[in-house]
Copies of this chain bind each other. A is one copy, B any other.
Amino acid sequence: MNGAESLISTLIGAGVNVCFANPGTTEMPMVQALDSVPGMRAVLCLFEGVATGAADGYARMTGKPGLTLLHLGPGFANGIAYLHDAKRARSPIVNLIGDHASWHLPADAPLTSDIVSLANPVSHWVRRSNSAEEIAGDAAEAIALASVKPGSIATLIVPHDAQLEAASRTVAVTAVASPSAVSDEAIKLAAETLRGESAALFLGAYALRERGLKAVARIAAATGCKLICESFPARWERGVGTPIIERLPYFPEPAMAALAPYKSIVLAGARSPVSFFGYPGLPSYFISPKQNTVTLASPVEDVEAALEALADSLNAPHDVTANSELQLPQLPTGKLTPETLSAVVAALLPENCIVMDESNTSMGPFTKLAQSVRPHTALFQPGGAIGLGFPCSTGAAVACPDRTVINLQSDGSGMYTLQALWTQAREGLNVKTIVLNNQSYRILGIELMRAGVKELSSLAKSLIGLNNPPIDWVSLSKGLGVPAVRVESAETLAKELSRALAEAGPQLIEAVL
């Protein structure tokens, strides 16, 4: 057994058995170990951002570490943007980076770089294995650390010589720490606050998953408190039967207006919400200093247990029926607009599907509609690095082969990571992508208007326009092996989405707005 084999064995032993890979020469012993140690599924990605974003999607859907295999500093760097998103999503991720043989580093070969400096901003833990004998222990530590709920990012750098040299052991991951428990005082204070008048419960992290939401419904039933969630939750179990929750708006003015009616805000698995960007004259924090902020559980604390304890302390009923009436919008006709797009997708969402929502400016009404349609899981981008939709939906589909994944993909964002379509085709993944083609970075036009620009100049238009030349998403998708069609009306979208949902494997629909 060599170091690479001890590494792969340790991973497989810990149940980490899917690897999103874009390896190079310095990772070849690990690739060989994938062969000699059975049990790891290797998913090839043609750009590292696809690998890291897919690992994030996989981790969010399984709770297990999403594993990447990346090549040296520049290869890792290509994956940083979606590790940033994964870090903000608190997804468990283990990155494996091959490095030059340790004896070759002083030669400063062309691909040598400071991997640690690149890895630190997107990792909770970075380690360079010093020898073959240490790799298994380092890997076990990485897995154990990453796996503590909700999750962390562990990056392990493995020199080529350490991969090749003899190793004597694998290491079992025996104990994964539990998330920090919330104090009785915090629960008591939250209960008192919610019993008072005009309180909101602000939800994030595992508060938005099944167990958390069950407790949330009980709390809402007992107190009548308002439920609000983060603008971009990592994962939200949504649809009929789950409590109605207001998703915090993106821009400061409506976000502050949404929070303003409440004397007290109780944070459950969420930080005090802040503005995505700083706007002159507007505050960073949306909760005013005059409001009362109470933390039930921080994003890394055990919010599920805390919510249950809170529900119990409120003597809340045990089985609460919330939002029980299925409400499917009527299928609209006519032009594709945010309204018609949202209605079609909401109406046709299959039960138990996964919706990756990178719709940005194109599907405003969707969130409200989606609250009472067929139950589904919604994924967002807590880190704001755009282009996550393609890879994250890919990883979610690998994680859940029996569920349909629908990727609502803005066009500008999608251009960062379209290579993921190839991996979807390669793996026959059940991902249905709707590219929302408005031929622009629409959000930047909105931001310029917010900044006081009355009319966009031709230069500004050209810098936010994707219409010269127009991007042909059908052609791109077919080029990467994914069948695709273009639709320009609500009725054609409904027809093509129904067809795509009925067919197996990846499909792309270019929806022209």
A441 to B78 Cα, complex, angstroms: 18
Whether the Cβ atoms of A471 and B460 lie closer than 8 Å is no
A111 within 8 A of B: yes
Whether the Cβ atoms of B444 and A24 lie closer than 8 Å is yes
Whether the Cβ atoms of A104 and B466 lie closer than 8 Å is no
Whether the Cβ atoms of A471 and B463 lie closer than 8 Å is no
A433: min CB distance to chain B, Å: 14
A415 within 8 A of B: yes
Residues from chain B with Cβ under 8 Å of A177 in the complex: none
Stretch from A142-150, A218-226, A270-278, A401-409 at the B interface: A270-278
A181 within 8 A of B: no
A164 within 8 A of B: yes
Stretch from A55-63, A118-126, A188-196, A357-365 at the B interface: A118-126
A101 within 8 A of B: yes
A113 within 8 A of B: yes
Copies in the complex: 2
A426 within 8 A of B: yes
A247 within 8 A of B: no
Whether the Cβ atoms of A161 and B476 lie closer than 8 Å is no
Residues from chain B with Cβ under 8 Å of A67 in the complex: none
Residues from chain B with Cβ under 8 Å of A179 in the complex: none
Stretch from A168-176, A338-346, A447-455 at the B interface: A447-455
Whether the Cβ atoms of A447 and B80 lie closer than 8 Å is no
Residues from chain B with Cβ under 8 Å of A120 in the complex: 114, 117
Q: Which residues of A contact B (CB under 8 A)?
A: 21, 23-26, 28-29, 31-32, 34-35, 42, 44, 46-47, 49, 73-75, 77-78, 80-81, 84-85, 88, 100-101, 103-104, 106-111, 113-114, 117-118, 120-122, 160-161, 164, 232, 271, 274-278, 280, 284-285, 382-385, 412, 415-416, 419, 422, 425-426, 443-444, 447-448, 451, 453, 457, 459-460, 462-463, 465-466, 468-476, 478-481
Residues from chain B with Cβ under 8 Å of A425 in the complex: 469
Instruction: With A42-B459, A88-B110, A107-B278 given, name 6 new contacts (CB 8 A).
Output: A32-B453, A44-B465, A46-B466, A78-B416, A164-B280, A422-B471
Subset of 29 A-B contacts with CB under 8 Å: A21-B463, A31-B460, A32-B451, A32-B453, A44-B463, A47-B415, A73-B121, A74-B84, A74-B383, A77-B77, A77-B118, A78-B78, A84-B111, A100-B278, A101-B277, A104-B275, A107-B274, A109-B275, A109-B277, A110-B382, A111-B276, A111-B384, A111-B385, A117-B120, A161-B280, A425-B469, A471-B479, A472-B481, A476-B476
Whether the Cβ atoms of A473 and B462 lie closer than 8 Å is no
Residues from chain B with Cβ under 8 Å of A468 in the complex: 426
Whether the Cβ atoms of A459 and B277 lie closer than 8 Å is no
Whether the Cβ atoms of B113 and A32 lie closer than 8 Å is no
A456: min CB distance to chain B, Å: 9
Residues from chain B with Cβ under 8 Å of A46 in the complex: 412, 415-416, 466
A9 to B142 Cα, complex, angstroms: 49
Closest B residue to A425 by beta carbon equals: B469
Residues from chain B with Cβ under 8 Å of A164 in the complex: 280
